[in-house]
Amino acid sequence: MSKGYNVAVVGATGAVGVEMIETLEKRGFPVKTLRLFASERSVGKKLKFKGTDVAVELLKVGIFEGIDFALFSAGASRSKEFAHGAAKQGAIVIDNSSAFRMEPDVPLVVPEVNPEDAKLHKGIIANPNCSTAILLVALYPLHKANPVKRVVVSTYQAASGAGAKAMTELEEQTHMLLHGQKNIKIEALPQRIAFNIFPQVDVFLDNGYTKEEMKFVNESRKIMHHPTLKISATCVRVPVYRAHSESVNIEFERPMTPAEARAILSKAPGLKVVDDPANKKYPMPIDASGMYDCLVGRIRQDVSRDDGRGIELFVSGDQLLKGAALNAVQIAELLV
């Protein structure tokens, strides 16, 4: 990593953009120059990188000359508008939106699962959906040992998954309710989030699933190179500030014991096993927040089956890090 790279962060002032800047610094990514881009309302704002103030510039066409890596986290419409142009100017675009994930010639990469796919890029690499990334860090090592046939997952998704405005909304609504105020503002999320949960993340599709739930299906199959994987998800927004959790039921081709699963997961990259229920130790979003590793625990045999081919587990991971910023920086690390 002796060479320095010119890096751009697009959507630099958003919740994920800020984490991308911090992650580049904390992991010692070889940045020669860092440029920050955002919309008009953020232009001129200064963000710190390695103790230096870096001013935010306006995102516009033709600004990516000389950029080696462009980390995009400004939403799908911005990515569609600017990513191809950035790639044409020579940047490797690592895009955090849903814009290109299912394009056949765009690699969709979780470095712990399919690092080799990153090398097949044609200028753009897609970061998966946050909840997909967190699931696959735990699922894939088990799949390598014993092929996975079917997965049923229920999520407990933090406000951070809907961006900085949703995190603020959770804080403000909680404060208002605790102080007896009744006129609760609901803007960033479809329902009240304080002291509530609701089974809607993203918009509903014709099949009754949400877009977020179908991302699990399509993205997991692509990343794992497992087109026949059966997967069903229910995605739920919970009043947690940051870090998503998931309850996962897995059906394997052959029997698997909890001890075998635990042994595999304890050696897997990007994971920390926290599984000591007797001492009240299990994955929680409060512990996963700010952590690079995802936490996995509550590993147990599925008692609804009598063939030993089912395992239940619970995973928590920081949506802004493994689910977004960290994954993007790890992809860049694969290519330097």
Mean pLDDT of 134-163: 97
Start-end of CATH 3.40.50.720 domains in the chain: 5-127+324-335
Read off the pTM.
Answer: 0.95
Q: Which of 121, 143, 235, 244 is catalytic?
A: 244
pLDDT at 234 over 50: yes
Give ranges for CATH 3.30.360.10 in the chain: 132-319
Establish whether 226 is a catalytic residue: no
- Give the pLDDT band of residue 1 (cuts 50, 70, 90): very low
The correct CATH number of 132-319 out of 3.40.50.1360, 3.30.360.10, 3.40.50.620, 1.10.630.10 is 3.30.360.10
Catalytic residue among 130, 143, 235, 294: 130
Query: What distance in Å separates the CA atoms of residue 232 and residue 212, rounded to the nearest whole number?
Result: 11
3-state per-residue secondary structure call for the chain: CCCCEEEEEECCCCHHHHHHHHHHHHCCCCEEEEEEEECHHHCCCEEEECCEEEEEEECCCCCCCCCCEEEECCCHHHHHHHHHHHHHCCCEEEECCCCCCCCCCCCECCCCCCHHHHCCCCCEEECCCHHHHHHHHHHHHHHHHCCEEEEEEEEEECHHHHCHHHHHHHHHHHHHHHCCCCCCCCCCCCCCCCCCCECCCCCECCCCCEHHHHHHHHHHHHHHCCCCCEEEEEEEECCCCCCEEEEEEEEECCCCCHHHHHHHHHCCCCEEECCEHHHCECCCHHHHCCCCCEEEEEEEECCCCCCCCEEEEEEEECCCHHHHHHHHHHHHHHHC
Catalytic annotation present for 130:
yes
Taking only the tens place, the pLDDT of each residue in 257-289 is: 999 999 999 999 999 999 999 999 999 999 999
Nearest to 161 by CA among 301, 320, 326, 329: 320
Is the domain spanning 5-127+324-335 CATH 3.40.50.150? The answer is: no
Average pLDDT over residues 293-311: 98
Amino acid at residue number 256: M
pLDDT at residue 229 greater than cutoff 90: yes
pLDDT in the model for residue 111: 98
Which residues are within 8 A (CB) of 144 and not within 5 positions of it... i.e. 6 or more apart? none
pLDDT tens readout for residues 103-147: 999 999 999 999 999 999 999 999 999 999 999 999 999 999 999
Q: What per-residue confidence (pLDDT) applies to 31?
A: 98
